[in-house]
Structure 1
Amino acid sequence: MRKMINDKYLRFHGAVEKTFSKGSYIFSNGNFQNHYYQITDGVVKLFSTGLNTLGMTFQLIRKGEQISLYSMFAEMPLLHDALALTDCRILVMPKECFNKIIEHDKVLMLKIIKHLSTESFSQPLMDSFSITDSPRVKIQQLFHNLKYEKVDQEKFSYEVRLKLKQIADLTNVDIEQIMPCIKSLEEQGLLKIVNDKIYF
């Protein structure tokens, strides 16, 4: 997910920057998404607490990215929670204001359609991540998903800029298993570690 809307443009049209402390909720399962959210600083995690998902974290969202944009158009209750994984600053715009912008800005509307289409196209890839029980495969699939949207798809071209705790949170793998799994992936030639940095 890449920034589609300039921060200044959002502010001009009524967006307000709000701060969310680490551990606080941006929105919760069961509510309707009545605002557009774009992160200016920090990391937000999306996770489901449904009966069949056992609190599964399925996405980390960072600076410049939107939070659950598709929910703005679904007109249905949210099926997940959004939690500030770090202290965050987020531009928040009421849904009514957002709708007025895209009604008059056809270029932006096309960007949104392209963005939502890309997410829909890659959903089977994300689903395959959630159905495996193997910690090693979960971590490998996470790295693959993170790299998926990047232009450079050459082997070892993507630097994984996540701490072990973040990898554990996103994969629901015990933090003590993370490094052994990463070492195993390195031994298989699926990633490499240079100066304590992971390249996938």
Structure 2
Amino acid sequence: MKAISCMNIDESILYSFGAENTEYKKRETIFNEGDSALYYFQISEGKVKLNNYNEDGKEFIHNILGKKQSFGEAMIFLNQHYPINSICLEESSIIKLPKNNFLEMVSQYPELSLEMNACFSQEIYYKLKMTQALASQNPMQRLLGLLDYLKSYHHNECQQCFHIEFTRQQIADLTGLRVETVIRTLKKMEKEGSITLKDRKILY
């Protein structure tokens, strides 16, 4: 099944409905967990991570998104507060479209609504697949479930050229494995040909 990334709406359409471009510095927060969903966000340049912190202050990274990807739009339709934080990993240029303008745009361009439904459905599909994989006692199945989920956000169908931008420790936290198990399993996966390890980068 072809992976569908987060929405990428033509920038000229966004600007025609009143979108503005905002510049953010590295480590600057775009929105915090608990904030009201007031905008549609699309990355023009840069990288953004979506995360949470538990009661002990430990970080849980949900995803890392890049150029031409969007985030936060589901909360607009649900009329809910954000359950996550969004933080820039580098200097970033983010297109922001106010909520009411966004809803007006979708009403005038119904094909965008269909694309969003496909995007949301694909996200749910891969999250379910990842949840199933994380229930496995097999470390390799856990890692493959996570890698498939992360890659599903990108239009990247080539084999072993998608860069997993997570540290070994972050992967361990996401999969419930010990970091030593992650390192050992990644080496085994490389030997079996399912990933490539290059200069400590994981290519899937």
Shift of 1:53: 9.4
CA displacement, residues 127-161 of structure 1 (integer Å, 9 cap, x when unaligned) = 357778998766543322233466776xx713132
Give the drift of 1:75.
1.3
2:40 equivalent in structure 1: 36
Aligned-partner residue type, residue 19 of structure 1:
E
Corresponding residue number in structure 2 for 1:80:
84
Instruction: Give the structure 2 partner of residue 114 of structure 1.
Output: 118
Gapped regions of structure 2 (runs ≥ 5): none
Q: Structure 2 length as normaliser, TM-score?
A: 0.77
SS of the equivalent of 2:71 reads coil
Aligned twin of 2:160: 158
RMSD of the alignment, in Å? 3.4
* Distance (whole Å) between structure 2 residues aligned to residue 107 and residue 186 of structure 1: 41
Measured after TM superposition, the shift of residue 191 of structure 1 is: 1.8
Indicate the SS of the match to 2:186. helix
Once residues 34 and 137 of structure 2 are traced to their aligned partners in structure 1, the CA distance between those partners, rounded to angstroms, is 27
Q: Distance in 1 between matches of 2:134 and 2:91?
A: 27
Question: Deviation string for 1:98-134 (max 9, x for gaps)?
Answer: 1111112111122122222222222213435777899
Q: Look up the equivalent residue of 2:160 and give its one-letter code.
A: Y
Instruction: Quote the Cα distance in structure 1 between the aligned partners of 2:156 and 2:71.
Output: 24
- TM-superposed deviation, 1:164: 6.0
One-letter code aligned to 1:72: I
- Mapping 1:1-200, distance limit 5 Å: 1-51=5-55, 54-128=58-132, 139-148=143-152, 157-162=159-164, 165=167, 168-169=169-170, 172=173, 181-193=185-197, 198-200=202-204
- 2:191 and 2:162 map into 1 onto residues whose CA distance is 17
Q: Percent identity?
A: 18
Counterpart amino acid of residue 112 in structure 1? M
Provide closer, same or farther for how the CA distance between residues 30 and 96 of structure 1 changes in structure 2, counting only shifts above 3 A.
Answer: same
- Going from structure 1 to structure 2, the CA distance change for 1:120 and 1:196 (only over 3 Å counts) comes to closer
Q: CA deviation at 1:85?
A: 1.4
Give the unaligned 5+ runs of structure 1.
Answer: none
Verify the 8 A CA contact 1:39 1:88 in the aligned structure 2.
yes
- Counterparts of 1:76 and 1:135 in 2: how far apart (Å)? 35
Deviations 1:44-72 (A, max 9, x none): 11112244994211111111111122111
Structure 2 SS opposite 1:26:
strand
The worse-fitting range, judged by mean Cα deviation, of 58-67 and 133-142 is 133-142
